[in-house]
Structure 1
């Protein structure tokens, strides 16, 4: 599924609206670093690939901005395990064993 994902810096999240409902990826930024905290898709929209599409687009945006990623969000962590092409974005100081 292809979505129109937009950054909403005022709310610290990337958002996509589908059928009047908003799915989002919550983040915190510091200069050069983005910490992805949580991914949420409304129950009515689950099972349609929305989280996956949003996550891919968010990772592409992070790469384009040359940010280091700290993936706190369990969904993001799972996605990264399945998509090693994004491993280079992960902040090397982030210790996955301490989550």
Structure 2
């Protein structure tokens, strides 16, 4: 992972996890539901297209969720696809998530 993607910020005001690269953001909107974190939408500004920023923000967000003992609800299609490609992350998905068996 590129060094500029290493630092992720939890922006509680905007309710998103974000990586800032030279003033441009890759981020994931989230909602907290008890001990679960629902990831809703992933986006990278056009200036970050093709840089791996979106993937980096997903990886760092999943690591944050695991490190804080939370369970994941991967509603965002990008996050869902990422977990299907990297099934080791299924370990943090809430087993009651309606599409759990599709991961």
Q: Settle same-fold status: TM greater than 0.5.
A: yes
Pairs within 5 Å for 1:55-74: 55-74=58-77
CA positional deviation for 1:45: 0.9
Structure 1 runs, 4 residues or longer, greater than 4 Å off: none
Q: Deviations along 1:27-86, whole A, 9 cap, x unmatched?
A: 000221000000000112111111111111100000011111100001100100111111
User: What TM-score, normalized to structure 1?
Assistant: 0.91
For residue 18 of structure 2, what is the aligned residue in structure 1? Answer: 15
Structure-2 separation of matches of 1:50 and 1:23 = 6
Count, aligned residues: 97
Q: Cα RMSD between the aligned structures?
A: 1.3
Q: Secondary structure at the match of 1:10?
A: coil
